[in-house]
Amino acid sequence: MKPTLIDAIAHDDADAIAHLKEQFEIPTGKIYLDGNSLGPVSISAKKAALNVVEQQWGNDIISSWNKHSWIDLPINTGEKIAKLIGAAPGQVICCDSISINLFKILHCALQLNPNRRIILSQDDNFPTDLYVAEGLQQILGVQQCELVSAADTDIENQLTNQVAVLLLTHVNFRNGKTHDIEKITQAAHAQGIIVVWDLAHSVGVLPLSLDEWNVDFAVGCGYKYLNGGPGAPAFIYAADRHQNSFQQPLQGWMGHMAPFDFSKDYCASQGMMQFLSGTPPVISMSVLNASLDVFDHVSIAEIRHKAIALMSFFQELKKASPELNELQLISPEKSNERGSQLAYSHPDAYEICQNLIDNNVIADFRMPDVLRLGFSPLFLSFQDIHTAITELSSIMTSESYCAAQFAAKKKVT
């Protein structure tokens, strides 16, 4: 029997974290299934943006570097993120973007394995991760750095004593398939390999225990499940045991041991401060810092529990809707093998996605034929899921997505 709206309401009534939706400003009438690309604005983030512009920058001006601790934002924000990824203090800093941070980290990781040169990654890793590794290869030359990629099912077979660094993304951005971080890290370490994890689609929705799993390095962004706003700063995790064994390549004044001495010669800071380069983006980092406060009121275990329930409810509704059979699930069937998303293939996935958006159900499209739906438990309800399926069913039944307007390609998909 197909679940009804009454069933959705019952699920919402039993939801222990349903009240957290009140902390977000979701546009009236919209169902937002794209928090895995850009999280919505929270009330605390909006207030922080206004405060940092009107009061801190507007009134206190440059004194805010000390008065409002702008100078400490990278560390303070990093420590909030550390709690979400299972990291003890002193191992996470907020700065730059994933791409820039990956460049730093890969360079550092190669220094820890000076007699090896191969960076091993996955064929369908998120493109920026591969691009950065390719760029590093071009700078250093293949005698010092060579990117090699393999199918996800063959990664463990490629872990040999010839590999210097393993670079993987925990959750595949297209299909949501997850890697077992602990298992793969242990297997890589057995071959003397340094491991770098990209947590862009993990942090904020999946339980992570980087210290316990003996992870070497990790990066992640602030604008997806952390809801830090478009272009929000990213973060770096570097295990304490490695922090005095390398020198990051993007030397800038904020990474100097004494930046306001304005010394001619570079002397790197100790610990995570060494990863800083230029002046931190105070406005965007203040917004991210404030957005993280919502996690003070919920555990990652609760978030994960609800995410699985939301996806299961969606799948249950879909399977009871024959008109949706054309949408083929490419995400793993088992919830413990995927992140907080469901992805479906269809020849007209782009058009279907655009039609959904036109009907106020916000999803996204990924090449070549993937309709991707993100399940962010902090602000989604079971009634939202029921509405989304209703709209999707209507679109597929009527074939309204075939209208020419939905085929027009946009710059951002």
- Give pLDDT tens digits for 79-112: 999 999 999 999 999 999 999 999 999 999 999 9
Show me where the domains of the chain are located: 5-17+299-407, 47-296
3-state SS assignment for residue 110:
helix
Instruction: List C-alpha distances in Å: 256 to 90, 247, 259, 363.
Output: 17, 12, 5, 43
pLDDT (tens digit per residue) in 288-320: 999 999 999 999 999 999 999 999 999 999 999
Task: Establish whether 334 is a catalytic residue.
Answer: no
Among residues 24, 126, 217, 350, the one annotated as catalytic is 126
Asked whether the beta carbons of 98 and 219 are under 8 A apart, the reply is yes
pLDDT (tens digit per residue) in 202-261: 999 999 999 999 999 999 999 999 999 999 999 999 999 999 999 999 999 999 999 999
pLDDT (tens digit per residue) in 308-363: 999 999 999 999 999 999 999 999 999 999 999 999 999 999 999 999 999 999 99
- Mean pLDDT score of the chain: 98
Looking at residue 413, its pLDDT comes to 86
Task: Establish whether 344 is a catalytic residue.
Answer: no
pLDDT (tens digit per residue) in 5-50: 999 999 999 999 999 999 999 999 999 999 999 999 999 999 999 9
DSSP conformation letters of 279-340: ---HHHHHHHHHHGGGGGGS-HHHHHHHHHHHHHHHHHHHHT-GGGTTSEE-S-SSGGGB-S
Q: Strands, E, within 9-145: which ranges?
A: 31-32, 92-94, 118-122
Asked whether the beta carbons of 189 and 214 are under 8 A apart, the reply is yes
- Judge: domain 5-17+299-407, CATH 3.40.50.1100: no
Neighbours of 315 (CB within 10 A): 17
Among residues 217, 225, 372, 406, the one annotated as catalytic is 372
Looking at residue 169, its pLDDT comes to 98
Looking at residue 205, its pLDDT comes to 98
Instruction: List C-alpha distances in Å: 5 to 10, 14, 54, 383, 386.
Output: 9, 14, 44, 7, 7
3-state SS assignment for residue 253:
helix
Among residues 174, 224, 306, 318, the one annotated as catalytic is 224
Task: Establish whether 217 is a catalytic residue.
Answer: no
Task: Establish whether 237 is a catalytic residue.
Answer: no
- The Cα 44–Cα 280 span in angstroms is 21
Radius of gyration of the chain (CA): 22
Among residues 96, 198, 216, 348, the one annotated as catalytic is 198
Task: Give the confidence band of 265 by pLDDT, cuts at 50, 70, 90.
Answer: very high
- The Cα 324–Cα 344 span in angstroms is 10
3-state SS assignment for residue 105:
helix
Looking at residue 224, its pLDDT comes to 98
Domains 5-17+299-407 and 47-296 agree in fold = no
Asked whether the beta carbons of 169 and 123 are under 8 A apart, the reply is no
Q: Name the residue among 131, 122, 201, 205 with its Cα closest to residue 158.
A: 122
Nearest 10 degrees: Cα torsion 82, 84, 86, 87? 0
pLDDT (tens digit per residue) in 163-214: 999 999 999 999 999 999 999 999 999 999 999 999 999 999 999 999 999 9
Q: Would you state the structure tokens that stand for residue 324, as one six-digit string? A: 């949706």
Which CATH number is correct for 47-296, 3.40.640.10, 2.40.160.10, 3.40.50.300, 3.40.50.410?
A: 3.40.640.10
Instruction: Say if residue 384 is exposed, middle or buried (CB neighbours under 10 Å; 0-12, 13-18, 19+).
Output: buried
In percent, the amount of the chain with pLDDT more than 90 equals: 100
Single-letter code of the amino acid located at 305: H
Q: Which residues pair with 343 in a beta bridge?
A: 372
Among residues 24, 103, 223, 401, the one annotated as catalytic is 223
Looking at residue 173, its pLDDT comes to 98
- The Cα 66–Cα 269 span in angstroms is 19
Task: Establish whether 265 is a catalytic residue.
Answer: no
